Structure 1
Amino acid sequence: MDGRTRRLGWYLTLGGLLAVIDTTVTVVALPRLVEDLDTNLTTVGWVTSAYALALVAVMPTAAWVIGRYGPRAAYLGALLLFTAGSVLAGLAWDIGSLIVFRAVQGLGGGLLNPVGMTIALAAVPPHRRGRMMSLLGLPVLVGPLIGPVLGGVLLDHASWRWIFWINLPVGAAALLLGRRLLPPPEARREPAPLDVTGLLLLCPGLTLAVLALSLTGESGGVVSGPVLVPLALGAVLVAAFVRRAGRVRHPLLRLSVLRAPGMAGGAGTVALFAAGYFGAFLTIPAYVQIVRGDSATLAGVIGIPQALTTGLMLQVATRLVDRVSARRLVGLGIATATAGTVARALVLDADTSYALIAVLGAVIGLGMGATLMPTMTAASRSLPPADLPSGTTLLTTVSHTSVAAGTALIAAALSWAAGRSAPALAGEGIAAVARLDPVTRAGLVPELAWSVQFAVAVSAVLLGLAWFTSRRLPGRPVPPPAGGDPAVSNARGAAGPPPRPST
C-alpha cells in the first residue's frame, strides 16, 4: 500500500476503535447496571442488544446512503451521530432511557463499519485486501485491552456514566481528522431508490426474533407463548423480506451477492461465530462479579490475555489469508476457539483459578484472531468494485445481527440456568444475587457457577457449528494480476459509488 492508502487505513481504524471500545467497556458494567438501575440481567442485556439491533436497522441502508451522500459525508455523519448518542447515554436517568440512547449510538455506529470497509477495500486491489483488513482489525487488539480495564476502573472509582462519555474525545478527534484524510466529495449521483418496504419488513423481523431469544430465560424455555409468538412473527417478516428481495429491482439488501464464490459460506461462518464469541462476553464478568463477588477491574484484567492474542493473531492471519487457503486458516481458528471454550466450560466451578480462566481466554483469542476478519476478507474478495457496498453491507449486517442474537440467547441461557439450579432465583436469574445477604449468597455459589458453565457451553456449540459453514470458503488464495498490481486510483475514486449503486 502507498502512503496515502496506509494513512486512510489507519484513520478508518479510529472509527472502528470507537465501536469496539463501546462494546467491550459495557460488558463489565452489566452487573453494576443491574444494581444501580434496579433491574435484572435480561433487561440490562438490552443495553447491548438495543445497540446491536440499531446497528442492524441502519446497516442495510449503507449502500443507499453511500450512493446518496457519498462515502465522506456518510462516514462523518455516522461519527457525529455515534458521538452524540454516547453523550446522551451517559446522561440516562433509568434503564429505559439508557436503552433508547444506546439505540441512538447504534444508528451512528451501524454505518461506520460498512461505509469504512467499502472505502478501505475499494482503495486496494483484491489480492492485497488482507493487508488493509489487518489495519481495520487493529481495534480488535486495542479495544478489548482498553475497554474492560478502563471500564472496570471507571466503575470502581467513578461512575458507569463515564464508560459512555469516554467516546467523546475519540469521536471529536475522528471528526476533525476525517475532514483532511477522507476522500473529498464527488459530484452527487442519483442513487437507487431506498427500499422502504424492505426496511419495514427486515428490521422489525430481526428485532422480534432477538426479543424472543431474550425471553427464553424468563418464560420457561422456547415452547411458551411469550417466546413463540414474537419468534414466529419475526420469522415470517424476515422470510417475506427474503422473498421480496429476489423480485424487486432495488432491494434493501442484494442477496444475489451470496452467489459470489465464498460469500454464502462466509456469511454463515460470520453469523454463527459472532453469535457464539461475542454473546459469551458477559459470562466471565458475571462469574467474577456476581458469582465470586470480586471487582469490575479484576473482570477487565482477566480479559487482557484474550484481547492480546486476538489482536496479535489477527495481524498475522489477515496477511496470511492473501497467500494461503482461507478454508484451512479459518477452520483452524474456529477449532482453536471452540477447544478453548469447551475447556473453559469444563473447568468452571465455585473456585476456579483466575489464571487458568485467563490462559483459556488467550487460547480462545488465538482462534478469534484467525477467524472473523479473515473470513470477511475471503468472502468479499471475489466481489467486483460495483458490488462492494452491497457485499460489505450484507456481511456487517449479518455480523451485528448475530452479536445481538448471541448476546440475548446466552444471557437468557444464564438466567434460565440460574433459575433452574437455584429455584429462589427463578424469574430474575443470576442478577438477583446482588440483592442477597452474604450468607445466602455464599451458599448459592456452586449453583451459580454451574449457570455460567452452562452459558459458556451454549457459546461452544455455536462456535462448533461455524466450523461446518467455513468449509464453503475458498480453498485457494487469489493470485495477483499477471502484469503486477493494477494501478489503483486514489481513495477518492476507488471509494466512490457507481453511477447507479445497488443496495
Structure 2
Amino acid sequence: MSVSPGIDRTTLRTTVAVLVGGIAVILDSTIVSVALHQLAQDLDVGVSTIQWVSTAYLLALGVVMPTVGWLQSRLGAKRLWLAALTVFLLGSVLCSFAWNADSLIAFRVVQGVGGGAMLPLMTTIVMQAAGGHNLGKLMSVVALPTAIGPILGPVIGGLILGVGDWRWLFWVNVPLCVAGILLAWRLIPADEPGRRVRLDIVGLLLLSPALVGLLFGLSNVAREGGFGHPDVLLPLVGGALLLTAFVLWALRRGGEALVDLAVLRSRPTWSATALLFLTGASLYGAMLLLPLYWQQVRGTDALGAGLLLIPQGVGSLVSRVVAARLLDKVSPRTVAVAGFALVGVATVPFALAGADTPIWLLLAALLVRGLGMGMVVIPLMAVAFVGLERPEVPHASILTRIAQQVGGSVGVALLAVILATAATSKGSITSAFDIAFWCATGFTALAVLLAFALPSRVGLDASAGGGTPATGAPPGPAADATEVGKRASIAS
C-alpha cells in the first residue's frame, strides 16, 4: 500500500480500517432502498407497512447518534467501533433470516443501533488519529463510502433481485463487516476511555425523542394531506419543541451536556454544519428525484435507473482528488462555492428536460453534478473540525451527522410534496419533475450564498483534534428515499 504524501502510515491504516467497516452502512441504505417494492410483494404487505423497513432504521439512527460522545468516553473509540460494527453485523444476519415484515422491521432496528454509532464515530476516529494534519487529504478518503454508495448500491441491489432472493441483500454486508472487524482489531491503535462523563439523562430524554419526532414526521410527508396530516404535523411540532428544550438545557449545562453546543461558537464549525444541512437537503432530495425521473419519464426499470446514475458517482470519485489538491491552493470557501455552483448548474438541465431530451446531455450533466458534490463535501467536513480540541471532536462529529441526516430528510420530504402537488395540479408528470428540479436547484442556490460564511482563509493543518497523530491518546467524550418518492408520485 502506498502512503499518500503527507499522511503518516498509522493514520492511513486507521482510516482504511474504519472505511472498510463504514462502507457497509452506506451500501446497506442504498441497496435496501431499491428493494422495498420487492419486499412488499414477497412478504405480502402493503406500502404503509413495508416503509417501516426504512423508517425503523432511520429512527434507530436518530436515537443512538446523540449518545456516541458519552459512549466513547466510557468505552474508548476502538472498543465502541468494534461493538457497533458487531451489532450491525448481527442485525444484517438477523434480517436475512426474517420470517415476516414485523421481524424484518425489528431486525432493521438492530442494524440502525449499530449504524447510528458508526456514522459519527467514523469521522471522530479519523480526526483524532490525524491530530489536525492533512484534513483535506483525509476527507477525500473518508468521503469515499459516500461516493461509492450511490454508484454500487442500486446496481448491486438490482442485480441481486434479478438473480436471487431478497435475503442476499443483507448477506452482502457480512464479508464487509467481518473484514472491517478484523482490520479494526489489527490496525486501529488501542485507546483508553477518556474522562468519564456522567450520562446527561435529561439531554438524552430531550434530544433523542426530538430527532425521532422530526425524522418520523418528515418520513410521512408523502401521505395524503402532506404537512397537514396528523402523522406529520404532531411529530414535527413535538420534535421541534423537544429540540428547542434541549438547546436551552445544553446551553445551561455546557460541557456536561449530552452534546456540547459550545463547539458551534467556532465560525468554521457552525458554518460547515449549516451547510451540511443544506447539502443533505440538496443532494438527498435530488437523489429522490433522479431515479424516479429515469423510471417515470424515460421508462427505465430500477436497475436501468441505477446504471444511468453511475456518471454522478464517477464524478464524485474524481473530484475527491481535485478538491483535496484545490484545498492546498485556495480557501475552503472558494472550493465549496464552486462545488455548490456546479451542482446547481448541472441540475438545471433536468429542470428543462422532457421525455425526448438526449440522454447523453443528461449523463454529462450528472457527471458535472458529481464533480460538484465531491467538491462540496470534502471542504465542509474538513473545515468543521478546524480549531477544535481533541475532546470537542466527538461533539462536532455528532452535530455534523445529525445536520446531514435531518437535512436529507427535509429535502426528501419537501421535494416529495412538491412533486406530488405539481403532478396533481399540472396533470403532467414531466412538468411536475421540472418544477421539483427547479426547487432542488433553489436549495443549491441558497447553499451557494451560505457558503460565503465559511472562513476565507483556514489552515487545514491547524489544531483539529489536538494531540499527536495516531498516538492512541485517550479521546474525549446518517437514505431510503426511493419508497417515499414512489408514494409521493402516486398522484401522477
Q: Scaled by the length of structure 2, what TM-score is found?
A: 0.87
CA distance in 2, matches of 1:179, 1:224: 48
Match of 2:134 among 106, 114, 128: 128
C-alpha change, 1:44 and 1:417, in structure 2 (3 Å) is farther
Partner of residue 481, structure 2 = none
SS in 2 for 1:222: helix
Contiguous gaps of at least 5 residues in structure 2: 1-6, 478-492
Residue pair 2:66, 2:208 contacting (<8 A) in 1 also: no
- Say what the alpha-carbon RMSD is for the aligned residues: 2.7
Deviation at 1:189, TM superposition (A): 4.8
CA distance in 1, matches of 2:189, 2:40: 44
Deviation at 1:169, TM superposition (A): 0.9
C-alpha change, 1:489 and 1:233, in structure 2 (3 Å) is closer
Are positions 1:207 and 2:227 aligned together?
A: no
SS in 1 for 2:130: coil
CA distance in 2, matches of 1:43, 1:449: 29
Are positions 1:252 and 2:250 aligned together?
A: no
Partner of residue 477, structure 1 = 458
Partner of residue 232, structure 2 = 227
Residue pair 2:269, 2:384 contacting (<8 A) in 1 also: yes
Measured against aligned partners, the alpha-carbon deviations of 1:37-62 in whole angstroms (never above 9, x if no partner) come to 56666765554444333223211111
Contiguous gaps of at least 5 residues in structure 1: 423-446
Match of 2:468 among 477, 488, 496: 488
Aligned positions of 1:354-433 closer than 5 A: 354-420=359-425
Measured against aligned partners, the alpha-carbon deviations of 1:41-98 in whole angstroms (never above 9, x if no partner) come to 6765554444333223211111111110011110001111112222233334455544
CA distance in 1, matches of 2:66, 2:237: 22
Match of 2:10 among 1, 4, 8: 4
CA distance in 1, matches of 2:58, 2:188: 26
Residue pair 2:291, 2:309 contacting (<8 A) in 1 also: no
Deviates more, 1:385-394 or 1:463-472: 463-472
Deviation at 1:470, TM superposition (A): 1.6
Deviation at 1:258, TM superposition (A): 0.3
CA distance in 1, matches of 2:440, 2:18: 30
CA distance in 2, matches of 1:43, 1:414: 22
Deviation at 1:7, TM superposition (A): 1.4
| Percent of residue pairs bearing the same amino acid type | 37
Measured against aligned partners, the alpha-carbon deviations of 1:312-333 in whole angstroms (never above 9, x if no partner) come to 1023213432442111110111
CA distance in 2, matches of 1:83, 1:417: 42
1:488 alignment partner AA = T
C-alpha change, 1:411 and 1:22, in structure 2 (3 Å) is farther
1:153 alignment partner AA = L
Deviation at 1:13, TM superposition (A): 1.6
Partner of residue 122, structure 2 = 116
C-alpha change, 1:226 and 1:247, in structure 2 (3 Å) is same
Are positions 1:448 and 2:453 aligned together?
A: no
Aligned positions of 1:220-299 closer than 5 A: 220-249=225-254, 250-299=256-305
Aligned positions of 1:34-73 closer than 5 A: 35-36=41-42, 46-73=52-79
Measured against aligned partners, the alpha-carbon deviations of 1:250-285 in whole angstroms (never above 9, x if no partner) come to 111111100013111111100011122123323233
Deviation at 1:478, TM superposition (A): 0.8
1:386 alignment partner AA = P
Number of aligned positions between the proteins: 468
CA distance in 2, matches of 1:479, 1:419: 49
Deviates more, 1:326-335 or 1:19-28: 19-28
Match of 1:310 among 304, 308, 316: 316
C-alpha change, 1:226 and 1:300, in structure 2 (3 Å) is closer
Are positions 1:346 and 2:352 aligned together?
A: yes
CA distance in 1, matches of 2:46, 2:455: 44
CA distance in 2, matches of 1:38, 1:421: 34
Partner of residue 440, structure 2 = 459
Aligned positions of 1:78-89 closer than 5 A: 78-89=84-95
Residue pair 2:159, 2:303 contacting (<8 A) in 1 also: yes
Residue pair 1:53, 1:401 contacting (<8 A) in 2 also: no
Partner of residue 439, structure 1 = none
CA distance in 1, matches of 2:139, 2:460: 17
CA distance in 1, matches of 2:206, 2:153: 35
Residue pair 2:55, 2:216 contacting (<8 A) in 1 also: no
CA distance in 1, matches of 2:398, 2:134: 20
CA distance in 2, matches of 1:39, 1:332: 46
Partner of residue 82, structure 2 = 76
SS in 2 for 1:463: helix
Deviates more, 1:472-481 or 1:80-89: 472-481
SS in 1 for 2:384: helix
Residue pair 1:45, 1:407 contacting (<8 A) in 2 also: no
C-alpha change, 1:51 and 1:226, in structure 2 (3 Å) is closer
CA distance in 1, matches of 2:282, 2:51: 15
CA distance in 2, matches of 1:409, 1:40: 23
Match of 1:218 among 220, 223, 234: 223
CA distance in 2, matches of 1:81, 1:136: 22
Measured against aligned partners, the alpha-carbon deviations of 1:419-478 in whole angstroms (never above 9, x if no partner) come to 5556xxxxxxxxxxxxxxxxxxxxxxxx33444444434433322222222222111131
Deviates more, 1:61-70 or 1:383-392: 383-392
Q: Scaled by the length of structure 1, what TM-score is found?
A: 0.85
Partner of residue 181, structure 2 = 175
CA distance in 1, matches of 2:96, 2:426: 36
Partner of residue 197, structure 2 = 192
Deviation at 1:31, TM superposition (A): 4.4
Deviation at 1:143, TM superposition (A): 2.9
CA distance in 2, matches of 1:105, 1:163: 13
CA distance in 2, matches of 1:33, 1:376: 35
Partner of residue 144, structure 1 = 150
Deviation at 1:136, TM superposition (A): 1.2
Measured against aligned partners, the alpha-carbon deviations of 1:198-248 in whole angstroms (never above 9, x if no partner) come to 122122222222333333332334345443332222211111111111112
Residue pair 2:134, 2:460 contacting (<8 A) in 1 also: no
Deviation at 1:132, TM superposition (A): 1.6
Deviation at 1:34, TM superposition (A): 5.2
Deviation at 1:180, TM superposition (A): 0.7
Residue pair 2:131, 2:469 contacting (<8 A) in 1 also: no
SS in 2 for 1:382: coil
